[in-house]
Amino acid sequence: MPQIIPIKDLKDTSGISELCHSTKEPIYITKNGYGDMVLMSIELFEEQRKKWEMYSEIELSEEQIAQGKTKNAKDALASVRQKYGL
């Protein structure tokens, strides 16, 4: 379940840090009752960043497939072997 806390609670920096590391999910910060920010540990951020990069690469691949920018596997491997002298 996501953690949602008011912005005034950010005064307890040590407590917030502990919360970030113990929950293993983002913490949503509200201001005047509305969503304002998201906090997370560096470890969680790096995990998320890797996922975002992977999804971005998959999306690019799907676009290339839709545009017909593909090669068959034999031609692709032959091209790599020739390029690197394998």
**pTM for the full predicted model:** 0.67
What is the maximum alpha-carbon separation in the chain? 63
Can you give the pLDDT at residue 53?
A: 96
- The label of the residue with tokens 């590391």 reads 21
CA distance 12 to 17: 9
19-56, pLDDT tens digit by residue? Answer: 999 988 999 999 999 999 999 999 999 999 999 999 99
Per-residue pLDDT reduced to its tens digit, 46-75? 999 999 999 999 999 999 999 988 888 898
